[in-house]
Amino acid sequence: MTLKRAFQDWTPPSGFVQVTSQVPGIAVYAPAPPEEKKTQAQTFRCPQCTGLITYKAGDRQLTCPYCGYKQEIGARVVGLSAERFEFTLETLDRSEKGWGVARKAIQCEACQALFTVQEGHLSTTCPFCGSPRVAGYESLHDFIRPGYLIPFTVDDSNCRIRVSEWLGKGWMHPPELRHVNTLGRFTGIYLPFWVFDAHINAAWKAEVGYERTKQHYRDGKWETETVIEWKWENGQVHLPITNLLVYGTGQVSTTLLERLYPFDLRALVTYDPAYLAGWQAQAYDIQLKPAWEIGKHKMREQAKDACYADINSSHVRNFSMTADFNNERWRYVLLPVYLSTYTFNNQTYQVMVNGQTGAVAGQKPVAWLRVWLAIGLCLTPGVLLGLLGLVLLFFGGLGVVVLPLAFFLFIIGLVVAVTIFVRAAQAEDI
């Protein structure tokens, strides 16, 4: 009787909602799905003056720039415990789509970059190329909604100081850069990144060579010879790889982006549209699958290096390995980056600042005269000593001692020169 009453009086516990049952007479309740914030698109307006309120870098609250009203952001820091997803179509379907907030999609007509701004904001210049030719774009319904982000902690005035310092550094760049006043506005933008984890079990097999010394007695004296003895070996390496970052956009220089690493993922917070208030954000244009290919490529190379490290010899041939990936997981996060441009000698250069750590990376013009002078200086000792050695060769044979030294110096100078040239080329051409 008590049980009967228990059945009749039963109500589902809080947090459970009724779902479709495929058998009559049986009611099924499942945990309620996370709130669909997407359906409650928000425009962040001040309740006091109705002005647009924005997230202020380094702060955990929204601030009204007009009346000073402040509003706490409810997102919590999850750090490395942020949820990770498996590689399933179902998971992709389950992922919430869209931004969960009314945002305007913008496309640059010059570089085709796609980014979003808060409703009511109009971006007059492209944060990637500085072009003023931007146009509205259809809404971004097909994008996976980011699950986590790292909020901006560096503000734009700090960026300006850091970039000015960075521009003044380096002997191979024009000294006028120190005083450049064409530095544009710093646009804080959340860039998309994929974060991958996997556990790799790698089995390798190779012919490994071990050096042995042999002594021969020939023509009345002992001679020592080093030989390599080859034998087949195999081994296994277990390599956990966590938090591998792969950029989700091809609109910015990936080389520059990687120079902004590392981001401290321990500061990840649950995605809250409030953090995007007053900031730009870019949706990914590198899909999960191609991004995973990039990540997988990096992971397998790490596994290969680990296998080589497992071999107790530098002599290896016929190396083969199989890397089994287990527990592959992904996250989609937004990371804070400032983008800006500056002009120097009528040419536009891109510069980026890590919005979390303040690290700076960018394109810098090169003072090629200085570079060539430096290269010349590097090569001069070797060349001059070589000439001296040739002269001394005719006078008493002392050149035999000097010439090898000159050759050694020349080689060192050449290596340094090439390094300088490559770095200079990279600094300008990124």
Partner 1 sequence: MNQDRNHNRVLDAIWGLDLDTLYCAQCRSVHLVSGGLAPEVCPVCFSSVTSVEAGNQSSGLRHEPPELIIPFQIDAQRARQALAGWLQASWLRPNEFNPELLSKRLRRYFLPLWLIDADVEAVWQAEMGYHYQAASFREHYQGGSWVSQQVEETRTRWEKRIGTLKRHYDNVAVPALEKHERWVSRLGGYDYRAYQPYSTSSIDASIIRVPDYAPDAAWMDAENAIDQIAARECMQAAGADQIRNWSMNATYTHLNWTQMLIPAYVTWYREGERYYPLWINGQNGHIDGVKLMSMSKAWLLAAAIGALAVLCFLLGAVLSIIGIGILLILLSLFSTATSGFGQHKTKP
Say how far apart CA 234 and CA 316 lie, in whole Å. Answer: 12
| Residue closer to partner 1, measured from CB, 199 or 370 | 199
Size of site (CB under 8 A) for partner 1? 38
User: What is the DSSP-derived secondary structure letter of residue 21?
Assistant: -
Site for partner 1 in 67-86 (CB under 8 A): 86
Taking CB under 8 A as the rule, does residue 124 contact partner 1? no
Q: Which residues are CB-neighbours of 246 under 8 A, at least 6 positions away?
A: 193, 194, 195, 196, 286, 291, 292, 294, 295, 298
The reply to whether 296 sits near partner 1 by the rule CB under 8 A is yes
- Distance between CA atoms of residues 383 and 389, nearest Å: 10
Q: Which stretch binds partner 1 (CB under 8 A): 28-36, 119-127, 159-167, 185-193?
A: 28-36
Q: Which DSSP state fits 107? A: E
Residues paired with residue 209 on neighbouring β-strands, in sequence order: 230, 315
Q: Cβ of residue 116: shortest distance to partner 1, in angstroms? A: 30
Counting contacts by CB under 8 A, is residue 232 touching partner 1? no
The minimum distance between CB 403 and partner 1, in angstroms, equals 39
Q: Does 7 bind partner 1 (CB under 8 A)?
A: yes
- Packing angle between helix 368-394 and helix 399-429, nearest 10 degrees? 170
CA distances from 38 to 95, 285, 327 (A): 12, 20, 30
Closer residue to partner 1, CB minimum distance, 304 or 423: 304
Task: Single out the residue of 14, 25, 222, 397 in contact with partner 1 (rule: CB under 8 A).
Answer: 25
Q: Which is nearer to partner 1, 3 or 135 (CB)?
A: 3
Say whether residue 48 binds partner 1 (CB under 8 A): no
Does 288 participate in binding partner 1 (rule CB under 8 A)?
A: no
Q: Which two tokens stand for residue 160?
A: 């300006």
Contact residue for partner 1 among 48, 242, 320, 426 (CB under 8 A): 320
Among 36, 223, 324, 429, binds partner 1 (CB under 8 A): 324
Contact call for residue 308 and partner 1 (CB under 8 A) = no
Among 113, 276, 291, 323, binds partner 1 (CB under 8 A): 323
Q: Which is nearer to partner 1, 40 or 327 (CB)?
A: 327
Closest CB to partner 1 among residues 326, 380: 326
Asked whether the CA dihedral 92, 95, 96, 99 is positive or negative, the reply is: negative
Query: How many other C-beta atoms lie within 10 A of the C-beta of residue 331?
Result: 19
Q: Which is nearer to partner 1, 39 or 88 (CB)?
A: 88
User: Does 10 contact partner 1 by CB under 8 A?
Assistant: yes
217 binds partner 1 (CB under 8 A): no
What region, left, alpha or beta, does residue 384 occupy, with left being phi > 0 and alpha being psi -120 to 50 degrees?
alpha
Please give the structure tokens belonging to residue 351.
Answer: 């510069």
Pick from 230, 319, 344, 407 the residue near partner 1 by CB under 8 A: 319
Of 149 and 303, the one with the shorter C-beta distance to partner 1 is 303
Q: Which is nearer to partner 1, 203 or 416 (CB)?
A: 203
Q: How does DSSP assign 303-327, residue by residue?
A: HHHHHHHHSS-SEEEEEEEEEEEEE
DSSP state of 32: P
Give the pairing of strands 61-63 and 54-55.
antiparallel
Q: Are 148 and 270 in contact (CB under 8 A)?
A: yes
Choose, by CB under 8 A, the member of 14, 39, 81, 89 that binds partner 1.
89
Helical (H) or strand (E) element with 90: helix 89-94
Torsions phi, psi for 95 (to 5 deg): -60, 135
DSSP code at position 330: E
Closest CB to partner 1 among residues 72, 305:
305
Contact 380/345 with Cβ under 8 angstroms?
Answer: no
Query: Which token pair is 276?
Result: 């995007």
Cβ-based nearer residue to partner 1, 12 or 79: 12
Q: Are strands 315-344 and 148-149 parallel, antiparallel or unpaired?
A: parallel
* Residue 125: closest CA among 363, 341, 361, 417: 341
Of 173 and 300, the one with the shorter C-beta distance to partner 1 is 300
* Near partner 1 by CB under 8 A: residue from 328, 335, 339, 366: 328
309 contributes a contact to partner 1 by CB under 8 A: no
Smallest gap from residue 38 Cβ to partner 1 (A): 22
Min CB(199)–partner 1 separation in Å: 11
Say whether residue 122 binds partner 1 (CB under 8 A): no
Q: Which residues bind partner 1 (CB under 8 A)?
A: 3-4, 6-7, 10, 12-13, 16, 19-23, 25-31, 86-90, 296, 300, 303-304, 319-326, 328
